Amino acid sequence: MRTQVGMTLLELLAAMAVTAILAAMAWPAYQQQILRGQLAEARAALLENLHFVQRWHLENRSQSGSWPPLPRPGTSEFEIRLGSASLAADSAGQASFRLLAKPRAGHRLAGRLQLSLDQDGNLSQCGPDESGPQSCGAWGD
């Protein structure tokens, strides 16, 4: 009488089916973690640029007629630029500006999400609402 060595084809197919089901359940969570990491990286780049622009404005005040180039113009997934900006200081002596992080073309969030950071460090997440225009809420809303 021969003893069976290894697995039968049916056992192998059952193991593959279980693996496929587990992978299908885990894939959305994995994609969400990747997205969270990309958003955290964009947020860190925005904060780095915010500190740079604030330092630059303190050192230069109104000596220059334009803003400097950003030290970190983006991440692998997001482009960062200076949005609305005014060198004219408010009553507290602070210029007003907004840094924007938009997903690069081809990213699954392109055209659907934008991160915005103002001169006071208020971070907001903007995206189109049901009617179409951009609506913004505080980070994490």
Domain-wise residue ranges, the chain:
9-138
pLDDT for position 49: 94
pLDDT per position in the chain (141 positions), as tens? 677 788 899 999 999 999 999 999 999 999 999 999 999 999 999 999 999 998 988 888 765 667 889 999 999 999 999 887 666 655 556 678 889 999 999 888 888 888 999 988 899 888 765 555 556 666 554
pLDDT for position 141: 45
- Quickly name the fold that domain 9-138 has: Glycoprotein, Type 4 Pilin (3.30.700)
- How many Å apart are CA 68 and CA 17, to the nearest integer? 56
Q: Rounded to whole angstroms, what are the CA distances from 82 to 22, 98, 116, 128? A: 44, 6, 10, 21
In sign, the C-alpha dihedral spanning 5, 10, 11, 15 is: positive
Instruction: Determine if the pTM surpasses 0.85.
Output: no
Collapse the DSSP code of 94 into the 3-class scheme (helix H, G, I; strand E, B; otherwise coil) and give the result. Answer: coil
- How many Å apart are CA 135 and CA 47, to the nearest integer? 22
pLDDT for position 32: 93
pLDDT for position 12: 94
